[in-house]
Amino acid sequence: MTGAGSLLRLIRNGEAVTRADLVRRTGLARSTVAQRLDALLAHQLVYEAGGSASTGGRPPTVLAFNQGAGVVLVADLGATHSRLVISDLAGAPLAETTFDLDIADGPEIVLAHVNEAFAGLLAEINRGAHDVRGIGVGVPGPVAFSRGEPVAPPIMPGWDGFSVPGWFASHYDAPVLVDNDVNIMALGEHWTHWRDIEHLLYVKIGTGIGCGIVAGRRIHRGAQGAAGDIGHVRLAGHDEVICRCGNIGCLEAVAGGRALASNLTAGGLHAESSRDVVTLVRAGEPQAIQAVRDAGRYLGEVLAGCVNFFNPGAIVIGGDIAEAHQQLLAGVREVIFQRSLPLATGDLRIVPSRLGDRAGAIGAAIMVIEHVLAPEAVDRAIQAGLAA
């Protein structure tokens, strides 16, 4: 069924810019196309602009997606640092702010602060709650995506089973999507720079280590939303290291930012966080350079298995430690190309993140936009409008 929503998708993708294009693309009668276009025009999702006179006679009217037809609100919540963005319906940022807030303060305190900041940003751009088409929230822990609830997140006390959509329901009449931060980063990086590649891994190496999986251009979350948790894969030969999860020899406990910082501190340097580790690398401290390169090798050991199993076209490495990417990626590449099968590494790209700490906010906006502008969602909104 080719409803108005499918027509909108053709216009958004640039596959159709005139009524004639839509007739040709969909095989629908001209009158049917006109009727569905009227609905899109009435909802201000599409506008008509004067065409170019290329063939003489009356130029065809050009159709364009109205990316200002609403806004999406995005909160990329980290353990201690958060970024809020308002973007238009094409994902272009309109207003933005960052702040420090401990996610361990619990959902009521954190979300109240987020909501206040959203209101401030909306006022800044002369928009109101009625303009909000959707809300996206990224959190540093596992999430039951279908319910928008964090599930037993280790560093988020009070959030287990908390309904984030339920909290926002009294403030906005718009869908609320919640996902793990690494998944939205993977989506942001893929959508912005790697749309030609079908299968991609995004690895975040900060305090901990996690991996977002893009399979067939979609986020793969797994049966329980736990897919990509490579931080707790066991490395051989590290039985003396106990992980915060209770197991021994986990990748994160050996090569995560927290582990690197405490190892360097034990070796006589001063490092409290993954950012301090990067500062030491940039200062040319040999011990820190060696530690990050080794971390790359350990990460490479786990990723070599992922490459054989999943055969990604690209591995994008982000997170604080990835800012020392020359050292880190040298280690990662060395082990992956040595351990993985040649067929799987033939065209494999292993690259640093290009979006850096903006990847999550961009990905969350895309997640929401694709949800609210999905053809079925647009058709439902138009139906509801007709019924009202």
**Which residues sit at the interface with Zn ion, rule CB under 5 A?**
232, 243, 245, 247, 250
CB 244 → Zn ion: shortest distance, Å?
Answer: 6
State whether the Cα torsion 30-32-36-39 is positive or negative: positive
**Tokens standing for 85?**
């963005």
Cα–Cα distance, 165 to 125 (Å, whole number): 24
Closer residue to Zn ion in complex, CB, 233/324: 233
**β-bridge partners, 81:** 100
CB 288 → Zn ion: shortest distance, Å?
Answer: 24
Closer residue to Zn ion in complex, CB, 245/341: 245
Closer residue to Zn ion in complex, CB, 125/245: 245
CB 253 → Zn ion: shortest distance, Å?
Answer: 6
Cα–Cα distance, 98 to 80 (Å, whole number): 11
Side-chain-side CA neighbours of 354 within 13 Å: the count stands at 11
The Cα-based distances of 266 to 251, 259, 269, 272 in angstroms read 19, 11, 7, 11
DSSP letter string over 255-302? HSHHHHHHHHHHTT---SSHHHHHHHHHTT-HHHHHHHHHHHHHHHHH
Closer residue to Zn ion in complex, CB, 95/209: 209
CB 70 → Zn ion: shortest distance, Å?
Answer: 42
Closer residue to Zn ion in complex, CB, 236/343: 236
CB 238 → Zn ion: shortest distance, Å?
Answer: 11
CB 259 → Zn ion: shortest distance, Å?
Answer: 11
- CB contact at 8 A, 191 and 363: yes
**Tokens standing for 114?**
């987020």
Closer residue to Zn ion in complex, CB, 232/333: 232
Cα–Cα distance, 321 to 374 (Å, whole number): 36
CB 210 → Zn ion: shortest distance, Å?
Answer: 12
CB 230 → Zn ion: shortest distance, Å?
Answer: 10
Cα–Cα distance, 156 to 356 (Å, whole number): 23
Cα–Cα distance, 49 to 46 (Å, whole number): 10
Phi-psi region of 82 (alpha: psi -120 to 50; beta: other; left: phi over 0): beta
Closer residue to Zn ion in complex, CB, 184/259: 259
Side-chain-side CA neighbours of 92 within 13 Å: the count stands at 8
Q: Which helix (H) or strand (E) holds 11?
A: helix 4-12
CB 219 → Zn ion: shortest distance, Å?
Answer: 23
Closer residue to Zn ion in complex, CB, 112/242: 242
Closer residue to Zn ion in complex, CB, 117/250: 250
